[in-house]
Amino acid sequence: MDKNEEVIRRYQEDEKRMVLIFAQWCINHQLDPFTVYGEAYPTQVNNSILKEVIDWTVDSSESDVIDTEMLIQILQAYGNDDLAMVISEKSQEMKQK
């Protein structure tokens, strides 16, 4: 495998981890990851990576706490600013309840 292929493979693996962290955060807060994702990206409701990693999530009682600010930073690092904004809004809504 050449260097470019290795960089692409690592990026794809990291992207899956980012999506898994997002999905688990949603599960931990009793939110449907597909619905939340759809709020940020209504034209991309069939995200193949999200479909793949959803099976890797665990029940919220079995999960570690995922810090909301950390999740937002991770999403922004991958250019998912719209999703980071939705997560921020959801977090604010939960704090107000």
Q: How far apart are alpha carbons 60 and 40 in whole angstroms?
A: 23
- pLDDT score recorded for residue 76: 96
- pLDDT score recorded for residue 45: 78
- pLDDT score recorded for residue 50: 96
pLDDT one-digit tens code per residue, 53-75: 999 999 999 999 999 999 999 99
Match 């922004």 to its residue by tokens. 76
Query: 49: which 2 tokens?
Result: 């990576």
CA 39: distance to chain centroid? 13
Nearest Cα residue to 19 out of 91, 81, 78: 78
| Domain ranges, ordered by start, for the chain | 3-96
Residue 81 pLDDT greater than 90, yes or no: yes
pLDDT one-digit tens code per residue, 28-54: 999 999 999 999 999 987 899 999 999
Mean pLDDT of the chain: 94
Quote the pTM value.
0.92
In 10 A of CB 68, how many CB atoms?
18
